[in-house]
Amino acid sequence: MLTILALASIVLLGIVPQQSEAIVIYTGWERHALVGSDIRLSCSFFSWRWTSEDVTFSWSYRPDGARDSISIFHYTGGAPYVDNKGPFRDRLEFVGNPARRDGSILLKNLDYGDNGTFTCDAKNPPDIVGRASSVRLLVFEKVPIQAGVITGAIIGAVLGLLVLIVVIYYLMRFLVARRVFNLSVSKHGRKGKGKEGSQQRQLWRPPPVTLLPLTS
């Protein structure tokens, strides 16, 4: 009975995902880079199927303001094919790991003409229905600081400093009060109550009630 149940569940699991089969591709949304630097454009996908041997990745590039996109990278049949005629010849390198569903590429020595949209399309047969994902590349001379970073940093630093000062103030007060108390107790301890005095030196214990009227 149990074996029949197990077999039925395996069969059902094999049949049901047919409807939810769609590959989901993840790239970044926007990437900022400095002129002359290198950038790694990451692309990975999620698929209900195991990664097949015929998995393919392809990257295409559309410059800012242009209408058409050109293909700059293709990985198929276990081998990567990089651009050797287009704008990225000798500047493109495949740094992904298709077995781990990673189809990232490395662009070297960026220039202002590389501003544009890069689209990654991955296919994991038989899981081929999916939407390609695009990442926008912006090349700057100097990387701009995002809005609000300095504001947040200043506010956080000042408030943190304030909290630190308050904590240190109360810590100093506590330590000074404790030292004063220990000194006054040791004076009383030497007069006659030797046992109590020696006990007080070992740990901080709450003061015994008899000492309170003497200190006020």
Partner 1 sequence: MLVLLAGIFLLHLASIILLLVATIDNAWWVTDTMSTDVWARWILNNGIWNHTDLPTGSTYPSDYLQAVQASAILACIFSILGLFVFVGQLFTLAKGQRFTFSGIFQLLACLCIMIAASIYTNIFHNDESSGQYGHCFILAWISFAFTFISSIIYFVLRKKTRD
Q: Which is nearer to partner 1, 186 or 215 (CB)?
A: 215
CB of 134 to partner 1, least distance (A): 24
Q: Which is nearer to partner 1, 155 or 180 (CB)?
A: 155
Instruction: For 110-133, give one letter per residue: b (16+ CB within 10 A) or e.
Output: beeebbbbbbbbbbbeebeebeeb
Binding site for partner 1 (CB under 8 A): 144-145, 147-155, 158-159
Q: Which is nearer to partner 1, 20 or 151 (CB)?
A: 151
Q: Which is nearer to partner 1, 125 or 156 (CB)?
A: 156
CB of 30 to partner 1, least distance (A): 17
Token representation of residue 114: 């590389």
Q: Residue 204 contacts by C-beta under 8 Å, 6 or more apart in sequence?
A: 178
Radius of gyration of the chain (CA): 34
CB of 144 to partner 1, least distance (A): 8
If 0-12 CB within 10 Å is exposed, 13-18 middle and 19+ buried, where does residue 211 land?
middle
In this structure, which amino acid lies at residue 68? D
CB of 149 to partner 1, least distance (A): 8
